[in-house]
Amino acid sequence: MIDVIIIGGGPIGIACALECEKSNWNYLIIEKGALTNSLFNYPKNMTFFSTSEKLEIDNIPFISKNPKPNRDEALEYYRRVATSNTIKINLYETVNQLQKNNDHFTVTTNKSTYQCKKVVLATGFYDIPNLLSVSGEDLPKVTHYYKEAHPYSMQDVVVVGASNSSVDAALEIWRKGGKVTMVVRGETIGDRVKYWVRPDIINRIKEGSIDAYFNAEIIEIKPLEVIIKTPDGLKHLPNDFVVALTGYKPNFDLLEQVGVSLSNDGIKRPVYNKDTMESNVNGLYLAGVICGGMETHKWFIENSRIHAKLIANHLKQVFSNK
């Protein structure tokens, strides 16, 4: 019987594992992809909003040559933390079922079945995109993830959204020779866009280097064009690729499967104790961005790394009473 199973091998999952190490608990991280899989899937040239010290876990120094670290530096840091502390983690193993059985849990994966006393869900949100739900979204030219600009050079590219990821993609693709058109549901570029990037995209739109349609949405994607609805009527745009960066959502199915209650206001925020991070399911804890439900912009590494210590402090009390 394992003491604690941590589902999710991102920075917060690793932080939880380090707390388990300190208390000599028998634990295991189960991660369906690579170590820090979400960070690995970030764009290659991505720069964090946070400074390196705010991305540190367990007071382990994160040294960066830049004021704000990039994706590769973050991967190196968390990889070093994981390997130097020899954390127990199974990579490329997917949790298919999570059940509560009286005083323990059964975790069934594509490779094995485990029994454990407690579970920490630190699964993040980056693996399930918010779909446009329009005809043609399943065409090969449509992607909900952006890695790098080179494949879009000399192509007609529609970038959907006005968040940090959308703005970064639009600017990089334009600079690498792509013809970029942004389709934005709102009235302007998002207020949460990085302060050193927002003026850049606004100026590129203003000068006409990047086309942008605001208060607009895609209604159909075809092999050679995209049809969008704008305040001025329908527009038919020549198109080679659609980069639909419309956000992502947590794995609500896993939460509901095990009995975690979700708010019914559309945000689907899971119920948990803010002092202990324990959900309404006894023995099941939440950590990281999953705590925000659909409000994925509420939690980041810098403000959720404390979750690991809150969980560990509560588990110490629970285990000492048995």
**What DSSP string describes 67-98?**
SS-BHHHHHHHHHHHHHHTT--EE-S--EEEE
Q: Which residue has the higher pLDDT, 144 or 299?
A: 144
For residue range 16-30, list pLDDT tens digits in order: 999 999 999 999 999
Rounded average pLDDT over 224-245: 97
Residues 6+ apart with CB under 8 A from 292: 267, 269, 298, 299
Walk me through the domains of the chain, giving residue ranges and CATH numbers: 2-128+248-320 (3.50.50.60), 131-244 (3.50.50.60)
- How does residue 49 score in pLDDT terms, banded at 50, 70 and 90? confident
Angle, CA of 301, 168 and 153, to the nearest 5°: 140
- Asked whether residue 278 carries a pLDDT value surpassing 80, the answer given is yes
122, two tokens = 């630190």
Residue 138, classified by CB atoms within 10 Å of its CB into exposed (0-12), middle (13-18) or buried (19+), is exposed
- Using one digit for the tens of pLDDT, what is the confidence trace for 108-167? 999 999 999 999 999 987 778 889 999 999 999 999 999 999 999 999 999 999 988 999
Instruction: Give the per-residue pLDDT at 322.
Output: 65
